Structure 1
Amino acid sequence: MNLNTVNGQTLEVSEVAFGREFNEALIHQVVLSFLSNGKQGTKAQKTRADVRGGGKKPWKQKGSGRARAGTRSSPIWRSGGVTFAAKPHVSEQKVNRKMYRAAMASILSELVRQERLVVVDSISIEEPKTKQFKAWLAANSLEGKVFVVQEEITENVYLGARNLVNVALSDVLALDPVTLVNADKVVVEVAALRKIEEMFS
């Protein structure tokens, strides 16, 4: 199959990487796995058993006129434990390499079908300035959430784009399914495209 660059050049690319059928279930599984594996899993709170104190009964069961109480660590007391306390846990979801590659190829293919994949020869920014990078985006009619993929991120592009909230940068090896799915436009340099084709074919 063929892809056209912004400059009108026609590139022949692998149909396995850029012409695959859309597999929503597989993409969903891979995206969930990516998000789950990104969690730190160290959130922790104290239950009534973990908080300090609470050993002695605060007052006798009957006769005081107050509500009965067995421990100061009860969740309904101030400085008591948390009722359903969070505990550290690993939420890792494994996806094998074949499934991951198939999902990434499916995402890339859908980007091509929806004309959200923009191929450029190279991103030429003379100086590391946000103004210049914004001008480059405007010149190529790139609006909304823009995901820029280079074979290796150049210093001028990194420094020019880092203050822009709607622009994300990545090299080929750090591609992730979530950013690809969320982007309105994915800008890929030709050198990066060839590397992606090699990875997911």
Structure 2
Amino acid sequence: MDFKLYYAPGACSFAPHMVLEELGMPYTTQKLDLAAGDQRKPEYLKLNPHGRVPTLVVDGKPLTENVAILTFLGGAFPDKGLWPKETWSQAMLLSALAWIGGTMHPAFAHFFRPIRYADDAAAQEAVKAKGFASFHDYLKQVDGWLAKSPKWMMGEQYTVGDPYLLVFYRWGVKSKLPMKELVHYTRHAERVMARPAVQRVMADEGITLG
């Protein structure tokens, strides 16, 4: 298979970038400058009409949305061990991915980009405050999940869900939230960042935790 990932440094596309590197399969990347509006250029909108990252082009066919991309990458290469073998565990991981992408990410978006959700300046401040509080609450929920897990999100097996969680831990740090108080999430983030594939991607994207 031929893979090309369209990403922006430190964005949620960081997750599939880490997974691709972990898989050890050949792939190429195209960096987008979101501040410059690369995601709104006609050539990119042909691939992803939503104008967002990530987009993974597989053998010339674009796939969008992190949950779909991570599910595909994990399931397409079962020998790499990033996707559970048992159907129940697969469903549980997919449930977690859907919650992260459909609940936790939007909370951060309300805080980070309130202009998407309200036109009035006062309303934007209210949206931002609510998003910030909700995002913090969801990070605490993740910390609670990880308190019950011996090592990784799904137990002993490192899966596509673990790098996805790192994206939001990093955003929590960048948002000046007291992430060190989330001891289980912090320990998990440190384990993920210790992986050579993750270190290579962080260097490639030019990002740090803080």
TM value normalised by structure 1: 0.23
Q: Which has the higher helix share?
A: 2
Q: Higher relative contact order by CA 8 Å / sep ≥ 6: 1 or 2?
A: 1
TM-score (norm 2): 0.23
Max radius of gyration: which structure? Answer: 1
User: Higher strand proportion, which one?
Assistant: 1
